[in-house]
Structure 1
């Protein structure tokens, strides 16, 4: 293995997974690069709030990975970049998948020995390893994967999930064997990874971001009759059936409320609830 880039104590590795290539999630401990008062104030808020800038590092050892276009920040070493179109038929399929899922058409292959760094982000990342598996994720979550992993589209299997599930006609299907990087809306420790064994999960809201391929998804009335759904105030629920895993992010709505209503409003709501109790 060739010499790797050296880091200062400003970076911490918070997660790592290794197969043919090694994937790491790096975290910047603090940001101190302000050269003006406005930026300094913003960085102070970020540092005091515990918000961390993160970056994906991929170490290739005569191996190959695929990246979402625009994800690359920089790389070092003997790495060759290729984009596979697959002829007229292949191009047509990629155009259709791109139109249906919102994913970009071409995902470049990076092959060789060296290091790849993706664009840093204040978001959150998760590393997964597939072993001849399939997962279906929300559009826009895919970042990178090993060469033997395929990224395509999963068509919704029924009318209810297509028009009532807020997931669109297609979602992103990732299948094969290898490591996958996805960007997730909340920290991984706030994800409820619900395991189903020939069971049913009903979710009131659109906060399931991942499911394994053998889980069936549909949208159903929350009660047996339309009138019951209307009077209960619940309406329709997203339903997951089968054996596998579903990732839920229930804390997402809290962050959305804080962002849209502000901390003052959230504090007032909390006080009202405490008073009622």
Structure 2
């Protein structure tokens, strides 16, 4: 399966008879799948179907779906709202009694009052409405396909970036592995020299045996063998997830946290300038990885 980003956009236009419409679908990052819709009044029946289709196609992301519709004006007709007209005429009579010298209202002025004239759309019969809904659904499927295609293109690009970043982590781990200063024997030799200097500088207050015990303990604590092994294991797991594809964003995010944990421990154990520099490089590349992973489904 291909990797998919949570960022995408699709726009599809369609028509059926005198009705024209536009679907617009947008998606951005989100912890879960959250679908929000703007559907014209009278088509609320589409909302459950839209949610069902989104749940089948998408795993995560904040998705906004908008449907705008227009009907050719030639099909519509103007009618007079009798109740609104009666209310306006009564108001005119009241005002005329209070202001007898005022100029009488014109027909244009009366009709300009809101609600007096109504533009009525022709009502579709059952068969026409069913055909319209079927075309809207077909057009929605096309828009969803477009959204998925864009999310997958974005996902492929992110996957290539992550692949290079994981290769960098592997290379840095290999450099840390090859450092001569991180071997247990080197650490013990360095600590032994420091202990010898302390003994030479002291006047007999230091216990040589205790000092050697503490030095051995410090050498053991400074060993980063486990951290390097876990980093290598995380690299293999991340590469496996990238090759598997699908909705692996959460798993990769967990791995990035583990990468960061091991790197922090490596830096805290470091007793070598070069190892510390490698640790800082690892932290920088892992932060970049986490930024990319936040975009994956």
TM-score range relative to shorter protein: under 0.3
Query: Using CA pairs below 8 Å that are at least 6 residues apart, which structure has the higher relative contact order?
Result: 2
Over alpha carbons, which structure has the higher Rg?
A: 2
TM-score (norm 2): 0.16
Name the one with the larger helix percent.
2
| Greater strand proportion | 1
